[in-house]
Structures are given as C-alpha cells and as structure tokens.
Chain A
C-alpha cells in the first residue's frame, strides 16, 4: 500500500481516503474570530536575573567575610605575641636579669617548637611581677648568704680565742 497520499497528499490518490476527506471535511474548523476581553493584557515575563545577581553577591560577600575571619583568627595570636615581646619606646626598660644556671629563662622557645613554646609566654604584667618576685628572692638569698658568712667568721674568731 502506498502511503504517500495519506502522508503528504502526493502520489496516486487513494479513493477511500479521498472519500473520507470529503465526508469528514464537513466537520472541519470554521474560522471564527477570537474573542478576547479588550482590557486583558499579557503579563510581563518575570526576570529572575536581578534577584539571582543579588543573591550571588550576598553569598560571595558572606564567603569572603568568612575566609577573612578565618585567616585573621589564625594570624592574630602570633602578631599579638610578637607585639608583646617587642618593647615599646615610651616604656621604661626592665631591670637587667642576670642569667645563671639556677635561673632559667622564663620563656624557652626554639624555632622547632615555636607554636608550643609560644603558649608558655606570660602576659606582660605577670612577667613584670615574676621578675620582681625573682629580685626579692635573690635579695633574700644574698642577705642569708651574708649572714651565714658573718656567723662563720664569728665562729672562727671564737675558736681562735679558745685555742689562744
């Protein structure tokens, strides 16, 4: 069966299809005007682009803020500690501390364990108090030493008198 006539009305016509077209053609659409209310207007297409742009900007700002805070919180303690270590020009210099084997430094920091050592660094005020306390202890030790040596000398003199 040749379907060309059925498909695009080319080729040899099929009598049965022609007959059907003739009969069913009576039911064909009869042009009628479209009745649309005169006040009816097509709603404008909504553009979501500005909203998307605003949302993207906000998201980007939040992201940038988050990253900045993260980076700042990581670097801030080190900077603060470095600032604490450095003496300020208007401050009076601390009295020099004699180094000895008995008096190890309060801050022991090596490059290898910088981060761990940094946690032992005392705040400035406490450090000053510690240094004052150390001075007092040293003074007390010196007095005790002087008294001991005085007692020792007196004992020696007494012993010489007994022998004499």
Chain B
C-alpha cells in the first residue's frame, strides 16, 4: 500500500478551508505550463522541490534523493496534462514521489546499499544521519511529516497545504511522531 489511512484522512470541507493563496499560484502556473510556458514549471519546481526532497529522504538512501527529485519532476512535466485539478498539483506530485520511493526499493532489492552513515564524513553529519535513520524507522505517516518539519523546516500548515493532508492529521502525526522520536532518542547519548 502506498499511503496509510492517516495520510488519506482528508475531507472536502477541510480542503476548502485550507485553500491558500499558494493554491491559486499553482493553478496559474499549471495552466501556464500546459500552454507551453516552461518557466512556469521551473517556478513549480522551486516551490515543491523541498517537499519532494523531504518525502524521498524519509524513504530512500540520501545519495539517491537528488537524482530521484530530478526524475520525479521530469516525469511530472511529461504527465502534467493528465492532472485534472490544477489546484491538486502538490498532492499529485507528493503521491508520485511516494510511489517512486516504493519503486526504488522494489528495483534495488537485490543490490547492496551503502549505509548513509558510511558516507557521512564529519561528526555533525553522521549524527544527522543517525537521527534520520531513527525517523525512518517510525511509522510511515509520522516519518514523512517529521522530516518535512525537522529537516526541510516547513511548518505544520505548510505541510498540510503542500501535501493535501488535513491540518488535523498533520498535527496528530507531528505530535505522535515527535513523542515516539523523543522516546527513541532517549537511548542516544549526547543529545
């Protein structure tokens, strides 16, 4: 299954209430791209690349994330004409990113992956990788929101607006995820 029940906890009312000015920007940009404006897509990339990066970072090895981000936006550009609701660009590309992460694991099942902490050179980076690994071991719904909040620096309302999740479910996921992370960090020294 690509998405958990928590992630799909959405309602039309909640979406209507959360219509942000950004959504209007997305609509304009998507329409512009469909009419042949490539710069519009570059703007969409600037807006959504951090979210896609965070979604991937919560699921795939760090070294693969940058290439996958490019792949996902390349795929999105080719398939943009299939997007029916321009305002749903965020949830659409988020779903592409989640599915691409699943595909990545399916394809690379037989290949041996180098641990991220092997690549980390300085102490600060290795500690970051270690904490990221702890987050990755949390339930799927928590890990994505925590990475978007703690790594990408997005606020809860921003996460909700960009991913299409309700603010309530993002808040719950952040709260429960943070609680679990604190428990697991208790075993780590020096934090």
Q: Report which A residues bind B (CB closer than 8 A).
A: 3, 6-9, 16-17, 19-21, 23-29, 31-32, 34-36, 40-46
Across chains A and B, the number of contacting residue pairs, with CB separation under 8 Å, is 96
CB distance from B47 to the nearest CB of A (A): 12
Contacts of A8 in B (CB 8 A): 155-157
| Cβ proximity bits B167-191 to A, threshold 8 Å, 1 near / 0 not | 0000100110010011001000001
Is the Cβ of A25 less than 8 Å from the Cβ of B155? no
* Per-residue contact bits, chain B 21-64, to A (CB 8 Å; 1 contact, 0 not): 00000000000011010100110011001100110010000100
- Given A16-B191, A17-B178, A34-B70, 15 more pairs with CB closer than 8 A: A3-B174, A7-B156, A8-B156, A19-B191, A23-B131, A24-B132, A24-B151, A27-B62, A27-B151, A28-B153, A29-B54, A36-B38, A40-B78, A42-B77, A46-B81
Q: B interface vs A, CB < 8 Å?
A: 33-34, 36, 38, 41-42, 45-46, 49-50, 53-54, 57, 62, 66, 69-70, 73-74, 77-78, 80-81, 124-125, 127-129, 131-132, 147, 149-153, 155-157, 171, 174-175, 178, 181-182, 185, 191
- Of the candidates A20, A25, A35, the one having the most CB atoms from chain B within 10 angstroms of its own CB is A20
Tell me the bound Cα distance from A3 to B176 in angstroms. Answer: 11
Distance in angstroms between the alpha carbons of A36 and B33 in the assembled complex: 13
Q: How far is the CA of A41 from the CA of B34 in the complex (A)?
A: 9
Closest to B170 in A: A7
Q: A34-B45, A34-B73, A35-B70 are in contact. Are A24 and B128 (CB under 8 A)?
A: yes
Q: What DSSP secondary structure best describes chain B's contact surface? A: helix
What is the CA–CA distance of A76 and B144 in the complex, to the nearest angstrom? 75
Q: Which residues of B contact A45 (CB under 8 A)?
A: 34, 81
Query: Is the CB–CB distance between A29 and B78 below 8 Å?
Result: no
Chain B residue with Cβ nearest A7: B156
Min Cβ gap B72→A in Å is: 11
Which chain B residues border A28 with CB–CB below 8 Å? 50, 151-153
Interchain CB contact under 8 A, B33 and A42: yes
